[in-house]
Amino acid sequence: MMNTSAQRPLVVLDGGAAGPYIMLPLTQVENVRAILDSHDVSYWVDTWAVSLDENPYMTVINISAKFDVDSIQRMIDAANEAE
């Protein structure tokens, strides 16, 4: 899945003990939530979205620490291939 703000693939980042997370445009949250829901992934979306220098609003999806970065990245990449 492409990050529509940066025009490159969404990247799952390693949050260490806090668990993986994805920083993404607010407009893409529902699509990513659908992917995570379809794989029974536990997550929560930050309540804040921030826009800097008139760029699109960005937020973070925090993923449970019991899931690893690579497995979540594969889910996101598979959705990208399906687009």
Residue 66 structural domain = 2-76
Spatial contact of 26 and 61, defined as CB atoms under 8 Å apart: no
d(C-alpha 7, C-alpha 10), whole Å: 9
CATH number for the domain spanning 59: value is 3.30.70
Written as one string, the DSSP assignment of the chain is: -EETTTTEE--EEP-GGG--EEEEEGGGHHHHHHHHHHTT--EEE-S--B--TTPPPEEEEEE-TTS-HHHHHHHHHHHHHH-
Is 65 inside a domain boundary? yes
Is 54 inside a domain boundary? yes
User: What pLDDT digit, counting tens, does each position of 9-61 carry?
Assistant: 899 999 988 899 999 999 999 999 999 999 999 999 999 999 999 999 999 99
Is 81 inside a domain boundary? no
| pLDDT at residue number 53 | 92
